Copies of this chain bind each other. A is one copy, B any other.
């Protein structure tokens, strides 16, 4: 028998000391569970992605030192640890196979992703083929890293040919709501192709705009996922591999007794959990303990407040209502009720007199001119200034509340409602905001007042304003945006089904708002293409298809 422990842990980028400590703790835990081997995720030692920290020689040296510390604490067990290796040619995204306290074989990742949020060719050299094989209790094993198993020509092929009965894949695979299915399908396919057991070990945790969802698993040679860890949680998944009847395992005469399989989550549940974990980790890893949120009485700030409470607890969330003369009774009451339902501190700072002071200051220049977006934005920026003042005074992090639909078309005020350190629902389309609120309310008592969910969305920056006065219906808009933003669809395709005018409007607004997005706070990626590292459009851009 062989006992395999998969350490699905949450390191912090750059925190070599903290990560080392955590890795050693999990090695101890694996030993305590009498595991023969413990496997960690990709680049677990540095955190993922370390980005330009990799350009610092001393950082790479410190990470190698840390690996030696870990090795010294790994007597009596095999451990596979992701780290950054270095030779005369450059640095590598690497995995060290530590054998009873000694660093043995070191594997270098061969397929370096350089698309979407990934920039690995910016930093790493490619590993040489023919590597990654080692023997564990007489079983032929192989190790490879993330993309190595996704790529059709990845090293898993060669490793299988060399007789690997078990393949350990170390991953740091960022969450989006389409990823899990792809991943399960892929690993099932790969295990069939290789006729090996694949132990897929994934990171968990939030890192700036990315959330890693864990969901580490074991795929059997027959293409079945036979064991899996929970998502969005640290876990040591332990499975025994031993002799038995599974046919495909004949190659080495062993199979697996299922120890644990995680309960599946709905897509909406996984998005909600990703938002909670991403928010929790951004706050915690950046040294904050409390957050402040502007509560408008609208649905976006309601969802952000609920996520924040679930992330760091109601005692650490402060809601601030900042009504103006355009704020309706309905939204003001709802903001209060929301705060009460969530059990968070609630402050009210009316902005009427501040708006008046700005009107007076600008009167010499604005006299005789029609009120327009200038006056609307002044209000939003007064609110931003107030939230930032509270942040600066009390050390609270401001969470912004804009959703992806708004961010896409620029229906938000730069330096106004866009003020803040972290944009929780930046990548959540408006239609999914509704679904997430319904989901949250269904988890127990109704925390988000139904009147908030039912009310037609409004920025309340002028009389009787409704979002839908300026924008296509959100259902249609989100479909168009998914095409334009997430799939780079052509105008011809988007304009079908009589949608020409709406498509032109959406495309023009997205193009025009690039300058705003460039100054937006980071937020959690949940879709296949977010407005983050995976969206690199120029601001200066005169391309038009129509």
Contacts and interface: CB of A to CB of B under 8 A. Distances in A.
A540 B362 contact: no
A380 B491 CA distance: 42
Interface string A391-410: 01100000000000000000
A257 interface: no
B361 A386 contact: yes
A385 B415 contact: yes
A442 interface: no
A488 B392 CA distance: 30
Given A374-B393, A385-B381, A52 B522 contact: no
A55 B415 CA distance: 30
Contacts of A490: 56-58
A396 B488 CA distance: 31
A207 interface: yes
Interface in A41-62: 49-53, 55-59, 62
A372 interface: yes
A393 B351 CA distance: 21
Contacts of A56: 488, 490
Contact of A488 (B57, B538, B540): B57
A84 B138 CA distance: 53
Given A353-B361, A415-B384, A537 B51 contact: yes
A449 interface: no
A366 B393 contact: yes
B381 A393 contact: no
A350 B361 CA distance: 8
A353 B377 CA distance: 20
Interface string A352-388: 0110111011100110010011110110011011101
Contact of A15 (B13, B121, B536, B542): B542
Nearest to A540: B285
A9 B462 CA distance: 47
A122 interface: yes
A540 B374 contact: no
A208 interface: yes
Interface stretch (A424-432, A497-505, A513-521): A513-521
Contacts of A206: 540
A88 interface: no
A286 B513 CA distance: 12
Nearest to A359: B389
A16 B351 CA distance: 47
A386 B372 contact: no
Contacts of A384: 381, 415
Top 10 closest A-B pairs, CB basis?
Answer: A14-B543, A15-B542, A374-B392, A357-B357, A374-B393, A58-B490, A14-B541, A415-B415, A381-B385, A51-B536
8 contacts: A13-B542, A51-B536, A58-B492, A353-B357, A354-B354, A372-B393, A374-B389, A519-B521
Interface of A: 12-16, 18, 49-53, 55-59, 62, 114-115, 119, 121-122, 206-208, 281-282, 285-286, 347, 349-351, 353-354, 356-358, 360-362, 365-366, 369, 372-375, 377-378, 381-382, 384-386, 388-390, 392-393, 414-415, 419, 421, 488, 490-492, 515, 518-522, 535-543, 545
Given A57-B488, A119-B122, 16 more contacts: A51-B536, A56-B490, A59-B543, A59-B545, A114-B119, A115-B122, A206-B540, A350-B361, A354-B361, A356-B357, A366-B389, A372-B393, A375-B389, A377-B388, A385-B385, A519-B520
